[in-house]
Amino acid sequence: MAGIGLVVAIISVFALSIIFSHNSSSEDITEVTNFIEENKIYIDNESEIFRVFVYEKDAVITPDGQKSFRRAFFELKQENTNLYEEIGLINQYQNTIVVIPTFTIIAYGEHGFYDYYKGECDKSCLEIPIRHDILQKYQTSDGATKIFKLLGYQFITDIDIDKNPDVLKQYDKVILLHNEYVTQKEFDAIIHHPKVIYLYPNSLYAKIEANYDLNTITLIRGHNYPQQEIKNGFNWRFDNTNFEYDSSCKNWEFYEIDNGIMLNCYPEMQIYKDKNLLKIIKDY
């Protein structure tokens, strides 16, 4: 994400607006949940489409003494089988691929690019190891990834595309998540595909290089680097980073660009509870 202040404000807390007092009793929690099963806390009335839950082990205490959660999880509701066929790919086939933002997940990890942006380390944090053990979170489309998995979508990673840009030609439709950091080869493959859903603002924002011999990625250009005035590292004319700060996504809409459609807000807190949004993604 382009704004460091925003990153600090939301980092590691994907709480679905569910915050319990540090002193809340179990009775208080019961009032806002269906039940607790295997340390799952099910959140009542959070979504008509999916069951939403958090794990007690993911609880964190905020500076003001409240309890919040790092991430949420989702399950299908048996009574919504017909709905899932309308909004997803379950029980049918569609030649669509979702791009997991692997490079962006790494960039947001410990000792990653954002430690440099915040002044907590030097340029050594701009060349970081490729890791596959970093959990997704709000900034890296954690919620959308889980929802698309439940709905039966296929996935590919940044690394797959960088190593073989032609792989996208196998698919009729590409769904991009918050793929903020990409290589030049991946950027070219995406913008030349004829049908892309740019689901998250601020995608294709900063240019990196991947070295698979050294197993590293390196920031090359963008996100105010190497000069402060450099925003989009590709000088991409369709950059829509200005929309990323609308996280409520209440007045969402897609608009057309040369090779697809873009959403005008950051949908992480909306996608698990908006059947119209999911149906447009499927039907486009």
Specify the pLDDT at position 54.
92
Task: Verify that 28 and 108 share a domain, yes or no.
Answer: no
Residues facing 22 on adjacent strands: none
Among the candidates 80, 103, 138, a domain finishes at 80
Specify the pLDDT at position 21.
31
Structural domain contains residue 38 = yes
Separation CA 41–CA 54 (nearest Å): 5
Task: Verify that 263 and 164 share a domain, yes or no.
Answer: yes
Specify the pLDDT at position 20.
32
Specify the pLDDT at position 93.
74
pTM of the predicted model as reported, rounded to 2 decimal places: 0.86
Task: Verify that 249 and 116 share a domain, yes or no.
Answer: yes
Q: Which residues contact 22 (CB under 8 A, 6 or more apart)?
A: 61, 65, 66, 67
Specify the pLDDT at position 4.
41
Task: Verify that 52 and 95 share a domain, yes or no.
Answer: no
pLDDT per residue of the chain (284 residues) written in tens, 0 to 9: 765 433 333 333 344 443 333 333 333 333 334 445 568 899 988 999 999 999 988 888 888 888 888 789 999 999 999 999 999 987 677 899 999 999 999 999 988 999 999 989 999 999 999 999 998 999 999 999 999 999 999 999 999 999 999 999 999 999 999 999 999 999 999 999 999 999 999 999 999 999 999 999 999 999 999 999 999 999 999 999 999 999 999 999 999 999 999 999 999 999 999 999 999 999 99
Separation CA 193–CA 49 (nearest Å): 31
Specify the pLDDT at position 12.
34
Structural domain contains residue 3 = no
Specify the pLDDT at position 37.
56
Specify the pLDDT at position 212.
97
Specify the pLDDT at position 38.
62
Instruction: Give the number of domains in the chain.
Output: 2
Separation CA 12–CA 10 (nearest Å): 6
The DSSP secondary-structure symbol of 166 reads: G
Task: Verify that 44 and 114 share a domain, yes or no.
Answer: no
Task: Verify that 95 and 230 share a domain, yes or no.
Answer: yes
**What tokens were used for 268?**
């992480």
Task: Verify that 15 and 66 share a domain, yes or no.
Answer: yes
From residue 48, how far is each of 51, 255, 280 by CA, in Å?
8, 27, 18
Domain range for 276: 85-283
Specify the pLDDT at position 111.
87
Specify the pLDDT at position 70.
79
Separation CA 78–CA 148 (nearest Å): 17
